[in-house]
């Protein structure tokens, strides 16, 4: 594959970058926009507070002055910014009044990510993020705009050439994108925000609803309209956010690296070394699970500060296709789900009781509030409804929970919120394994098993039989050599004595 091309920096090309180079002119525009954004608030404040009179003319003058100043600043910044490749290190110099020099030895560069925002697209340039192991989400050096030809040459000179030929590749089609957006789990995240915005609007424009929203719960029609508007707004926001984030999603394996491209307004291209992937999480959300669909998330140490989208291996996939996806993209990490060691039947009661009680209490409080506000007696049904929802949640959590040690993989499944999450991790990458017994669990002979990954993801199975949890912890040993695996008929190593066989 192209790993040879990729691994070794191109000396000849490197020589062409020996003299400091300016960025593409688009960089002037991007820094002008940044400056304008920074200036906008003080300008508005001055325009409004700085004295009465003038009105519109005054505002336009301020806007023009601000725009011109920003543009000038952008050009000056662009002139003061340069990069060069000197004695095996990438040097970046920026800053008008106090120039900063950043130097990264070529060997320390872990990846070069490409981002193309609307401005860069307008100018036909790309933004390069030079990533180092320990660097933040944005990259140690950000070249705000580089012409595509320069970008190609620089990548080759640094030994991170874009692959010409392609390895296995998967793209998210339009239908799948729309389906992913329709079932986006952001719904639950956006709803409270939109709700808060509605409440704020209600306070501001109280007249619209005559008085506060919740004073008139008695009028079902009005409440229904408000609720429908709330859900509609939430849906539109979460749908479009998902489309903008995942449009054109494409993942490709080029030898020992994954390249992931995505984004509608801002095209992002990131690359992740396959060896750095500690595991994946298969997330079956509330709206996706019934259709057998899931999102596959990458678990990689050091990318913890990145947003969730940056850690997505694939936004929407049939759960039964996950093994094939993994075999293509993350060879060496089996995507099949083995039979799991499950909590015993006596744990069911514990799974169900707490959420049922919590749901009942919340439902009861809501019913009380509705009745107090003048709602009818049927409102009391909310209480058992809450308890029922809680119990259902507990039952689903019980049915999802389980873990297994299968060869060099550790598999853990649990329900988190409304989603079922299956963690498939490289066993030797687990950072911490613990078994916890509360006094109540102790009496019932149960225990909670928990692991932590370098990505910050933690997985937990509640109420396993205590001796099984201990056995699982005992089986996870870290000898310096590879553990002598005891093979089963299926060829996968048996996990621990008495564990269920590996059936897929």
Partner 1 sequence: MTDAPSSSRPEPSRRLASEARTLWRIGALGWAVPLTVGVPVVLAGVGGVPGALRALAIAAAIVVGALGVVVVPQLRWRRWRWDVREEEVDLRHGSLTEIRTIVPMARVQHVDVRRSFLAQRFGTADLVVHTAAGRTTIPMLPEAAAVEVRDRIADLSRTPDEL
Residues ≥6 apart with Cβ < 8 Å to 130: 90, 104, 109, 112, 139, 140, 141, 142, 143, 158
Instruction: Find the binder of partner 1 among 52, 98, 478, 503 (CB under 8 A).
Output: 478
Instruction: Find the binder of partner 1 among 431, 444, 493, 500 (CB under 8 A).
Output: 431
- x-marked contacts with partner 1 along 382-421 as a string, rule CB under 8 A: ----------------------------------------
- Residue 273 Cβ, how far from partner 1 at the closest point, in Å? 10
Q: Is 432 in the site for partner 1 (CB under 8 A)?
A: yes
Q: Give the Cα separation of 260 and 314 in Å (integer).
A: 9
Q: Is 203 in the site for partner 1 (CB under 8 A)?
A: no
- Residue 474 Cβ, how far from partner 1 at the closest point, in Å? 4
Specify whether the backbone of 453 is left (phi greater than 0), alpha (psi in -120 to 50) or beta: beta
Instruction: Find the binder of partner 1 among 184, 406, 466, 495 (CB under 8 A).
Output: 466
Instruction: Find the binder of partner 1 among 52, 98, 174, 480 (CB under 8 A).
Output: 480
Q: Is 476 in the site for partner 1 (CB under 8 A)?
A: yes
Q: In terms of CB distance, is 108 or 152 closer to partner 1?
A: 108
Q: Give the Cα separation of 242 and 223 in Å (integer).
A: 28
- Name the segment binding partner 1 (CB under 8 A); options: 21-29, 247-255, 339-347, 450-458: 450-458
Q: Is 428 in the site for partner 1 (CB under 8 A)?
A: yes
Count of CB atoms situated within 10 Å of the CB of 151: 20
Instruction: Find the binder of partner 1 among 188, 302, 388, 500 (CB under 8 A).
Output: 302
Instruction: Find the binder of partner 1 among 166, 240, 307, 438 (CB under 8 A).
Output: 438
DSSP 305-359: TS-GGGGEEEEEEEGGGHHHHHHHHSTTS--PPPP-B---GGGHHHHHHHHHHHH
Cα 247 to Cα 121, 378, 382, distances in angstroms: 16, 45, 40
- Residue 428 Cβ, how far from partner 1 at the closest point, in Å? 7
- Name the segment binding partner 1 (CB under 8 A); options: 34-42, 165-173, 354-362, 449-457: 449-457
Residues ≥6 apart with Cβ < 8 Å to 387: 356, 357, 359, 360, 363
Residues ≥6 apart with Cβ < 8 Å to 40: 66
Residues ≥6 apart with Cβ < 8 Å to 100: 93, 94
Q: Is 483 in the site for partner 1 (CB under 8 A)?
A: no
Q: Is 453 in the site for partner 1 (CB under 8 A)?
A: yes
Contacts with partner 1 by CB under 8 A: the residue count is 37
Q: Taking CA 92 as the corner, what is the angle to CA 257 and CA 74, rounded to the nearest 5 degrees?
A: 110
Q: Taking CA 301 as the corner, what is the angle to CA 299 and CA 304, rounded to the nearest 5 degrees?
A: 80
Residue ranges binding partner 1 (CB under 8 A): 275-276, 301-302, 428-439, 442, 452-456, 458, 466-467, 470-471, 473-474, 476-480, 496-498
């Amino acid at each position: 594959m192209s790993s040879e091309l990729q691994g070794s920096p191109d000396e000849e090309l490197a020589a062409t970058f020996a003299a400091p180079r300016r960025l593409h002119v688009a960089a002037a525009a991007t820094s002008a926009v940044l400056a304008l954004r920074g200036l906008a608030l003080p300008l508005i404040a001055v325009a409004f507070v700085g004295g009465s009179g003038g009105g519109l003319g005054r505002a336009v003058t301020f806007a023009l002055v601000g725009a011109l100043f920003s543009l000038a600043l952008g050009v000056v910044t662009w002139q003061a910014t340069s990069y060069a490749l000197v004695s095996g290190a990438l040097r970046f110099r920026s800053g008008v009044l106090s120039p900063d020099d950043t130097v990264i030895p070529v060997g320390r560069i872990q990846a070069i990510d490409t981002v193309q925002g609307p401005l860069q697209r307008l100018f036909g340039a790309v933004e390069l993020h030079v990533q180092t192991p320990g660097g933040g989400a944005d990259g140690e050096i950000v070249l705000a705009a580089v012409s595509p030809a320069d970008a190609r040459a620089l990548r080759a000179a640094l030994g991170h050439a874009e692959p010409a030929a392609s390895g296995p590749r998967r793209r998210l089609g339009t239908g799948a994108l729309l389906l992913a957006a329709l079932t986006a789990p952001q719904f639950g995240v956006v709803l409270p925000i939109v709700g808060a915005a509605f409440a704020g609007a209600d306070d501001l424009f109280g007249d619209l609803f005559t008085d506060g929203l919740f004073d008139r719960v008695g009028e079902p029609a009005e409440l229904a309209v408000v609720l429908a508007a709330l859900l509609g707004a939430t849906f539109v926001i979460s749908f479009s956010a998902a489309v903008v984030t995942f449009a054109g999603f494409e993942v490709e394996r080029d030898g020992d690296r994954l390249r992931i491209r995505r984004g509608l307004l801002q095209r992002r291209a990131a690359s992740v070394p396959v060896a750095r992937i500690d595991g994946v999480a298969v997330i079956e959300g509330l709206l996706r699970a019934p259709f057998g669909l899931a999102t596959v998330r990458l678990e990689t140490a050091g990318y913890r500060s990145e947003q969730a989208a940056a850690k997505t291996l694939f936004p929407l996939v049939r759960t039964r296709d996950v093994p094939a996806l993994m075999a293509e993209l993350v060879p060496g990490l089996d995507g099949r789900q083995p039979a799991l060691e499950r909590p015993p039947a006596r744990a069911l009661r514990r799974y169900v009781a707490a959420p049922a009680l919590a749901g009942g209490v919340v439902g009861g409080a809501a019913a009380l509030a509705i009745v107090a506000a003048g709602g009818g007696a049927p409102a009391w049904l909310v209480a058992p409804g809450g308890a029922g929802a809680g119990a259902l949640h507990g039952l689903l959590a019980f049915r999802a929970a389980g873990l297994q040690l299968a060869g060099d993989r550790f598999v853990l499944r649990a329900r988190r919120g409304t989603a079922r999450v299956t963690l498939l991790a490289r066993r030797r990458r687990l950072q911490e394994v613990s078994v916890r017994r509360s006094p109540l669990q102790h009496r019932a002979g149960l225990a909670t098993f928990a692991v932590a990954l370098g990505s910050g993801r933690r997985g937990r199975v509640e109420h396993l039989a205590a001796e099984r949890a201990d056995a699982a912890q005992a089986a996870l040993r870290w000898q310096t050599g590879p553990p002598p695996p005891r093979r089963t008929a299926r060829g996968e190593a048996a996990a621990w004595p008495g564990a269920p066989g590996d059936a897929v």
